[in-house]
Amino acid sequence: MARRLTHKQQRRIKQNQQQQLEQYDDVNTETPNLPARVITNFGKTIIAELENRELIRCSPRQNLQQIVCGDNVLIQKLDNKDAVVTAVLERESLLKKPGFGGKLKPMAANIDQVVIVMSVSPPPNTYLIDRYLVATENLSASGLIILNKTDLADENTDLKALLNEYRELGYNVLPTSIKDKNSIKALDLALNERTSIMVGLSGVGKSSLINTLLPEQNIRVGEVSAASGEGTHTTTSSILYHLPNGGEIIDSPGVRDFGLWNNSAEDVLYGFKEIRDLAGQCKFSDCKHDVEPGCVINKAVDDGLIKQQRFQNYKKIIHEYT
């Protein structure tokens, strides 16, 4: 569920913003500050949406933190086409992604569901799913796993095993195909009333799924890509779309490699919920869950309570990325 701010929180945020704004000489305090939502940005140019759904091109005021898709901001209009972002409202959550040199950079804000999109072909990669789930758990967001392009599955593809493994962990898992209307309906339902972001490798069908959900939204894709000068098919910046039944979906550029995420060991453990529930019960408080005697995690793997594959991915992520 999308969390709504209480009146008290809204008042506090407003007061903070006013104080922030008054520190800057370059901000015109006569012009009204209008609330807006960041739909997309390319470089320093931001496309924000006013409460009446009007889109406006903005540049950020100097010294503002990096603004991302999904941010709630205040803007001041310069004319009918352009505006300045004067403040970024407090974020409920911030999803980051690996940038160049292994540094994490902000990707999208105020997300409450991460939709991890995999496709039948090439086959899904549990290591990538688990890495996205680590990010999801640390955001306190829900995780939805999509297995797209089911129309390409042949009798040799064992979809059931993979779907069940994550369902048993409590994640919502949906097989989809842009050619199967019922699967798109199920996806629509799972996105209802939430702010979700689609993530996954390039080419798995994130944008296609959104286009199938929102066929009439092609116009906005055109608008935005014309403004950015990008004529290509592949998504190059995150874009937020409204869903007809309430809620929002953010399309994001697919990753081409697995990058470095630089999570801390605590974050990685927190990302594996069935493992974190048992950690702390090992004989040694600094147990690395390797060869130590009295390791509860290793026993749970032996007993089949923790899946071998998940434990291997946990160790791989701990070793490579911390």
| Residues within the interface to Zn ion (CB under 5 A) | 282, 287, 289, 295, 297
250 binds, among ligand GTP, Mg ion, Zn ion, none (CB under 5 to 8 A by kind): none
The CA-based angle 214-187-254, given to 5 degrees, is: 75
DSSP designation for 159: H
Candidates 126, 235, 238, 298; binder of ligand GTP (CB under 6 A) is: 235
Binding of residue 225 to Mg ion (CB under 5 A): no
Binding of residue 235 to Mg ion (CB under 5 A): yes
Residue window 115-154: x/- pattern of binding to ligand GTP, with contact defined by CB under 6 A: ---------------------------------xx-xx--
289 binds, among Zn ion, ligand GTP, Mg ion, none (CB under 5 to 8 A by kind): Zn ion
Strand partners, 140: none
Which residues, 6+ apart, have CB-to-CB distance to 157 below 8 Å?
Answer: 120, 123
- Tell me how far apart the alpha carbons of residues 116 and 129 are, in angstroms, rounded to a whole number: 7
Name the minimum Å distance from CB 46 to ligand GTP: 20
Q: Which range in 65-73, 206-214, 219-227, 314-322 contacts ligand GTP by CB under 6 A?
A: 206-214
CB burial of residue 37 (10 Å; 0-12, 13-18, 19+):
buried
Q: Which amino acid is at 125?
A: N
Strand partners, 289: none
- Tell me how far apart the alpha carbons of residues 184 and 151 are, in angstroms, rounded to a whole number: 13
Task: Provide φ and ψ at 103, rounded to 5°.
Answer: -85, 135
Q: Which is nearer to ligand GTP, 202 or 245 (CB)?
A: 202
Binding of residue 202 to ligand GTP (CB under 6 A): yes
Binding of residue 237 to Mg ion (CB under 5 A): no
For residue 165, what are its two tokens? 């493994």
Name the minimum Å distance from CB 19 to ligand GTP: 40
Tokens 């066929």 correspond to: 215
Binding of residue 208 to ligand GTP (CB under 6 A): yes
282 binds, among ligand GTP, Zn ion, Mg ion, none (CB under 5 to 8 A by kind): Zn ion
Residue window 156-195: x/- pattern of binding to Mg ion, with contact defined by CB under 5 A: ----------------------------------------
Q: Which is nearer to Mg ion, 138 or 207 (CB)?
A: 207
Q: Which amino acid is at 85?
A: V
CA distance to 11, 85, 92, per residue, from 5 (Å)? 10, 21, 10
- Tell me how far apart the alpha carbons of residues 153 and 138 are, in angstroms, rounded to a whole number: 33
151 binds, among Mg ion, ligand GTP, Zn ion, none (CB under 5 to 8 A by kind): ligand GTP
Binding site for ligand GTP (CB under 6 A): 148-149, 151-152, 177-179, 202-208, 233-235, 253-254
